[in-house]
Structure 1
Amino acid sequence: MGGKDVVHMKQLNNSNVQPTEVQKLLQQVADERFSDNKSRHSIADPAEISGKLKDGRDEPWKVDVALAAAVRPSIRSHSSNEEIISISVRKGGIVSIGQHHNEWLSTIPQSPDAISMLFVPITSLLSSVPGQGFLCHAVNLYLRYKPPIDDLRQFLEFQLPRQWAPLYDDLPLGFGPRYKRNKSSSLQFSFWGPKLYVNTIKVDTGYRPVTGIGLFLEGRKSDHLAIRLQHLSNLPQILIISHDHGFEPIDESVDKAYYEPVKWKMFSHVCTAPVLYNNDESVGFVTKAWLDVKLMKRKKVLFLRLGFSTLASATIRRSEWDGPSSTLRKSGFFSALISTRLTKELHHVIQNEKPTEDSIKSTLVYNGESGTEAPVPTKAPKMLSFVNTKEIVRGPEDTPGYWVVTGAKLYIECGKISIKTKYSLLTIC
């Protein structure tokens, strides 16, 4: 805060005056303006604001009000064609007509002005506030994602670290009893084609809301289909779990129209029926998921199973389906960490794409550290032509930033087993 009196010299591009001459002229104008000798120079009156031309004639500045002319910058031309002009600007203090520099200096304490500004984060003002770390984090989240004010509380409650289950470190390397081939849990899509074995182990998040789902291939030969869940690292405090339900469907009640073949009708099918929590008395969100294979009329059918946790008092405000056919944000960095059996082509794309900040936020994190990058096979797994391994995730950048998974379904797209997810916004009563 204070005052500033500055002289600028402007030279047009078509001017032939040498820089040394311009520098001398600037020094001369500054000496006249800031000299202690009042008779040498002061702010010109309205008839002299434009200064004198090189030939000595006066050129009035076309301003009717004298006071306005005094406040505005003083412009003087120093050549006949106005190729060199000086602009004098005063900021702060009390400016009047015919006022000398020293006279103006004495008025600055009466009317100071902002002459320079430095913008700092608002969180820097909270250094002495208890719990300022959490408060700064909340402010930064709001400034970055700008959620609606009405949704701010729920938005902040859901901004917890996210991780995937199973973690990469928990994935076996393709040996042991888990990978003993079970003929009953396998799919085949052509007579001579390879079998796709299905991992039927339940993935449990421990009552924590799911924010993303993905299919992936694991095992030594990348011929085991499995499912993984992205979930919050903790349960938001505003969510109070009332019951936990494992989904035990009656497959005979599913309309046979939902059974779709992956390739040929005489071989394995996929049940594309939506898996939802159907209870009008409470709201459920997904906390478990697993795959299952059933023999239905001499054909093997792949089913998606979900487990739900219910809330004591909540309603669903809005729901929508999201899947590979829609515009998705791909968690590219995580794709390099998942299974030990990813395609070389996919890995090539990931390595050449610079991960965005949003992508990094959705990566696999355990104890604050990301997993170790998985080895890449020398050739693409055969089963990748039958499975869509794109991840479906939503985070704080998806307004209003607190979507949870309340349902999902398998479906066939371009001959590949894919998954769609139903996201919902919960209103806590």
Structure 2
Amino acid sequence: MRLTRVSWAGAGLVVALVAGPLPQPSVATTVSAADVPCQTISADLPTQEAASASRPIQLLGVERAQALLDRTAPAGPRVRVAVVDSGVIDTPRIPVVRRVGFTRLAEVQHFHGTAVAGLIAGQPLADGAAVGVAPDAEIVDVRVFDDDAPTDTDSADVQPARVALGLRWVARHADRLDIGVVNVSLMVADDPRLAAAVRALRRADVVVVASTGNRPTEPGQPLYPDFATLAPGEDAAARVFPAGYPGVVGVNATSGAADADDLGSVLQSSATDVAAPTPGGVTVALNGGTCVLPDVATSWSAAEVSGVVAMLRARFPDENARQIAARLTATASAAPGSASPLVGAGVVQPVEALTRPLHPTRAGTVAESLPAPDLLPEASQPVVASDDGAALRHAALWWGLVAGGLVVLALLVRPLLARRRDLGRPAAR
């Protein structure tokens, strides 16, 4: 597929990701299964397969949601998700239908974009285990950087202006290419061109999903030292974009354990709408194999939520972006009115989002919603299926007791009625 490239130069905020420059791809063979971290895999290494199933997929009940969607989604074209990132490798594991680039290098240098796309729409493993949240979705690859810390003049770093170019391109082509979701697992500084691009996406009825930011741990990383340690009243919303713009679904990350302290890994932000667990996620590596993401990181949680949004757009194709976002937040795990800067409305619940009988307005408001469960328990362990038989047995027991009581009452009343009839008869002559 032909890759369109546009050069762009200008100052901007360099975004620190996880890995550095990676070698060019070469012919590879498959090695034995192992849970290899994605950050350690270069394009020239032999391919490998993850040994473990995806933990976030299990915690969120994604495979059950996928089965529900298969049964209930109306017929129609596949939902397309634009991934504005470092580029996606060419592999049958990720269904990329269009590529556009705003950098100079030909080959994908950084694993980040491929990992994000794999979390959204990666195809199942050979044993059928899920990789991507929405494997029926299709990816539009919008490449806006090569490396987070380029070592030569040809490499492109992450700049607000270039991200804005990518988002503008998505907004212009959303209708023709049927793009319903755009994922931005990046954090950059506020920029009027970026803000304008987000507004254009909202007008184009595209759901914009973005990460709310990881906590910096060393000098040179964005927001260091301002957010290196948690301070009272911390709020990164005014420093992390595009998540900080109105109408963007801001996504934070959790460990998936109810008793874990995730604030050492992520930032508190009033821009947080929902959260998702990330450690143990399985995705596609830079060499085409599968790998594991061990960290609590908002890049990965945003990708997972983009997958859930793609499922919702497939299930409710007549609803607009605001209605879809309303379903996402109204069915998250936090109790109503208990939104927090760490998890927003709560951890996303894909099954609830697909099945709860909501009627969001075109403006994105929800009049009524069933009470949500307590914060985070669904993401701390796999959802346990309910015992429908127990409910039937309970009902049968009560009906049995009622029927028995009526029989006893009839036996007591019958002699009294008989005596009354006898008293009312004429005396025998």
Say yes or no: TM over 0.5. Answer: no
Taking structure 2 as the reference length, the TM-score comes to 0.22
Larger Rg: 1
Taking structure 1 as the reference length, the TM-score comes to 0.22
If each structure's strand is expressed as a fraction of its own residues, which one has the higher value?
1
